Structure 1
Amino acid sequence: MKVLDWGRAKNVLIYAFLLLNLVLGYQIWMDARETAGANLDFTSLADNTQRAMEEKGIQVLAPIPNETPKLPKLSYEFIEEDKSGIEVELEQPVDSKLIFSPSELADALQAEIPQIGTYRLDQLMAEDGAFVLHPLVDGKWPLFNVSLELFYSDQKITGYHQTPVRITTAEESDQQVLPASKALGTLIENFLPNDAIVKDIQLGYYGQLFNSDIQVAMPAWRFVLESGEVLYVQGISGDVFSPKSDKPGE
């Protein structure tokens, strides 16, 4: 009679259990991904938009915001003469996990980047080796045109690239921002390709860049696709912009 090797049997059972968990976890993730659209409320979309969405196989995996605040246009100017910005290596690297704790991150980098407390992390725009943050207008709306990059390596923030700007609000009165559902409808019906997947919808500020010291930005809905493409719908006129061309409707 063979003697049962309990140690070996226990290891086999543990590995089998872990493999089962991985398989089940992957299946749950796939199911959630496939049914995410069904769990979201698309009743705010016009009937023709919903039909186009179905015909083109477009998925929207992000909640459709219902906020339509009144916002002004704004202007901003580059503080540094070199508009390409400044790049600095930190003498004392900072723990990169602080990026997820805004107050602690501000405390750690306040001396290097005095305005960092007015920036917010943009997780969708993160690059290999760099976190991306945008300055906030009125503490809430990101200015997508301007980025602060925090470089990291070996779990430490080692430096940054910043183009400092001064933001001012135009004197004109606030204007009602068009609903996200209408902006999304414009994209679905006229701009998004078949099988496109919208994974994030966010309101902020965006404007075409000109060869000028003073730049203008308007309220805009930003749509991020699964492919990595980013599209902006101007919140007042409804014009569509792509950073690739920075021209409306392209």
Structure 2
Amino acid sequence: MDWVKAKNILIVAFIITNLILGYYTLKDMKANRYSDTISEEKINDIKKIFEEKNIIIKADIPKKTFRVPEITVKYESYDKEEIEDKFLGENESDNKETVKLTSNNKLIIYKKSLNDNNTKSSEEEAKEIAYDFIKEHGYENDEIELWDIKKENNEYEILYKQRYENIILDNGYMKITVKNDQVVYFERRWLQATNVKSIEKGIIPTTKALLLVIDKLETMKDTKDSKVVITDINLVHSLDIHELDGIFEEKWYVGDEKKGLLYWRIILQDGEYIDIEAYE
């Protein structure tokens, strides 16, 4: 192999990518603000660039560019007696149910052991059972978004994320496991927006976010059969927290209000993702 020639080709490709990135960055900026809508032409150009590098975009690329407020959040806190009454009540079932609060009373974990009856649910039935459980326990609201569902053996693991307007609050979630037509596991930690600043900050358009990750995606192709597939793109608010185990578990949520950072999350077919800071 002519290594000198191959090296030169890579250098040229790198320069071209960066020129394209610079071109679209300048084109998008006007008086320090991005335009309201990304054109279909630009989106098609981006898809073509990615396809030439064997990176397939199956996700819907958000076209709207907008300004978002800075959000300060805190975790919901729960009362032990209230939670026990809500989940257990006067439990006369043969099935063993437990519920506990951890992490300074900000994380609910419910478990139920079953006398197996090998009842099989469809995916749609499992989603309905999970949502009915959420509704029954008073956690139904317009912030809930079904995020993922996986099946293993005869169990469905269902993940809900928390949404605040156009933003996914990454640290707010509910996990539910459905088995034999019943919820056997439930976990919840949820956030409250305590302060939403009226002064909004601009975010980069999705096209720029994609171009910023193109080199990283290329390096990932070696472990993904030389092909990368992007299945989703979301605006995500994420807190910088260190979730410790063991004797330090109760220190997860020390402190109340937190600001967090905003990212464009590029999600791949295998569940991996790349976060790119979204603020201008």
Q: Give the gaps of 5 or more residues in structure 2.
A: 1-38, 78-100, 114-120, 222-226, 243-251
Letter in 2 for 1:135: Q
Instruction: Find the aligned partners of 2:147 and 2:274 in 1 and give their Cα distance.
Output: 15
**1:71-220 correspondence runs (5 A):** 71-80=68-77, 82-83=102-103, 85-89=107-111, 97=124, 100=127, 108-112=133-137, 114-117=138-141, 118-123=143-148, 126=150, 128=152, 129-138=156-165, 140-171=166-197, 173-192=199-218, 193-194=220-221, 195-209=227-241, 212-213=254-255, 214-220=257-263
SS of 2:215's partner is helix
SS of 2:210's partner is helix
Instruction: Find the aligned partners of 1:224 and 1:207 in 2 and give their Cα distance.
Output: 18
Map of 2:279 onto structure 1? 236
Contact map agreement 2:262 2:279 (CA 8 A) in 1 = yes
SS of 1:43's partner is helix
Which is strand-richer, 1 or 2? Answer: 2
Partner deviation per Cα, 1:45-67 (whole Å, 9 max, x = no partner): 5968854x245321111121102
Alignment CA distance shift 1:127-1:172 (3 Å): farther
Contact map agreement 1:76 1:168 (CA 8 A) in 2 = yes
The answer on 1:63 being equivalent to 2:60 is yes
Instruction: Find the aligned partners of 1:222 and 1:126 in 2 and give their Cα distance.
Output: 20
Map of 2:42 onto structure 1? 44
Contact map agreement 2:127 2:158 (CA 8 A) in 1 = no
Partner deviation per Cα, 1:188-233 (whole Å, 9 max, x = no partner): 1345433221111122322432565233233322211123211222
Alignment CA distance shift 1:82-1:182 (3 Å): same
Letter in 2 for 1:165: L
TM-score, normalized by length of structure 2?
Answer: 0.55
- Give the Å deviation of 1:99: 6.5
Instruction: Find the aligned partners of 2:193 and 2:150 in 1 and give their Cα distance.
Output: 24
Alignment CA distance shift 1:201-1:126 (3 Å): farther
Instruction: Find the aligned partners of 1:126 and 1:50 in 2 and give their Cα distance.
Output: 32
SS of 1:75's partner is strand
Alignment CA distance shift 1:69-1:151 (3 Å): same
Contact map agreement 1:222 1:231 (CA 8 A) in 2 = yes
Q: What is the alpha-carbon root mean square deviation over aligned residues?
A: 3.5
Residue identity (%): 15
Partner deviation per Cα, 1:89-134 (whole Å, 9 max, x = no partner): 369xxx8746656xx966653342x3332311102x6574321011
Letter in 2 for 1:82: T
Letter in 2 for 1:209: I
Letter in 1 for 2:171: N
Q: Give the gaps of 5 or more residues in structure 1.
A: 1-40, 238-250
SS of 2:260's partner is strand
Alignment CA distance shift 1:122-1:88 (3 Å): same
Instruction: Find the aligned partners of 1:97 and 1:146 in 2 and give their Cα distance.
Output: 24
